[in-house]
Amino acid sequence: MDRMLYIAADGARQIQTAQAVNANNLANASTTGFKAQFEAMRALPVYGPGHASRVYTQSETTGVDYNPGSLMATGKNLDIAINGKGWIAVQAPDGGEAYTRAGDLRVSATGILETGAGHPVMGDGGPISIPDAQELEIAADGTVSVLPVGQALSTIAVVGRIKLINPPDGDLVIGNDGLLRTQDGSNAIADANVRVASGMLESSNVNTIEALTTMIHLARQFETQVKLMKTAEEADAASTKLMSIS
């Protein structure tokens, strides 16, 4: 059977992979602090006997769009947004350290400061624990202060400082859970120059119009690959019929 069938089938499979990445971007268009992923196709020659007339594709996730999303004012003390470059350190589900721009913070039932997705926010010595308090404030440098229950306004207590980092963009990779980690798996060093804005949230940086256009484009490419597979099937059937005449 002509290699065209296998090449077209592989092309359709790679397009499905690209479509999955694009669909994930579109699904997170309203997710706080979400960063869109880039997907690209790479042409690779088919090696073997005969002329080099066949090329197949390889879908690859080439990186993350680090451009910031727009800032939205919420007025909530626990909402923060990175002002410029930087990331918030959180504890990943596997217990390791990971990074996010999602600043929709809350205090869990056990008193742990966490993101809206449930990831504990890391401080200097681990997840930040919040005692019972009347008020809670987060300063521009990530310092978390509380007014203990029943205390005067003059008894503000510092309970921790959010770990903020700012490594080079190329040093971070995104995982299946949407969190970023360093390429070598080590913990990034805190950067005292990173600043946050309280009462603000950063929106997703996904361009919905571009994502929808890409979805349509990929769907048409998939249809083309299916047509090529059908053409290969018809050509094979015609060849078989000719061979059977003898």
Q: Where are the domains of the chain?
A: 3-66+206-245, 71-202
**Host H or E run for residue 59:** strand 55-64
Angle at 110 (CA atoms; ends 104, 112), nearest 5 degrees: 40
Neighbours of 179 (CB within 10 A): 22
pLDDT in tens, the chain (246 residues): 566 777 788 888 888 888 999 999 999 999 999 999 887 777 777 777 766 666 767 766 667 888 999 999 999 999 999 999 999 999 999 999 999 999 999 999 999 999 999 999 999 889 999 998 888 999 999 999 998 877 777 778 899 999 999 998 788 988 888 899 998 889 999 999 999 999 999 999 999 999 999 999 999 989 998 998 888 878 877 777 777 765
Q: Report the pLDDT value the prediction gives residue 195, as an integer from 0 to 100.
A: 96
The pairing of strands 164-165 and 80-82 is unpaired
pLDDT at 231: 87
Q: Are 89 and 97 in contact (CB under 8 A)?
A: yes
Residues 191 and 75: beta-carbon distance below 8 Å? no
Give Rg (Cα) of the chain. 25
In the chain the first and final C-alpha atoms are separated, in Å, by 19
Picking from 149, 148, 87, the residue whose alpha carbon sits closest to that of residue 122 is 87
Residue type, 104: D
In this predicted structure, what is the pLDDT of residue 34? 92
Contacts of residue 93, Cβ cutoff 8 Å, sequence gap at least 6: 119, 177
Cα gap 174→95, rounded to integer Å: 16
CB 139 within 8 A of CB 2: no
Element (H, E) at 220: helix 208-245
Cα angle value 159/161/167 (rounded, 5°): 165
What confidence score (pLDDT) does residue 143 get? 95
123 phi and psi, to 5 degrees? Answer: -115, -155
Cα 40 to Cα 61: distance, rounded to the nearest angstrom: 6
Classify 21 as helix, strand or coil.
Answer: helix
> Using CA atoms, how far apart are residues 88 and 196, in angstroms rounded to an integer?
10
pTM of the predicted protein model: 0.79
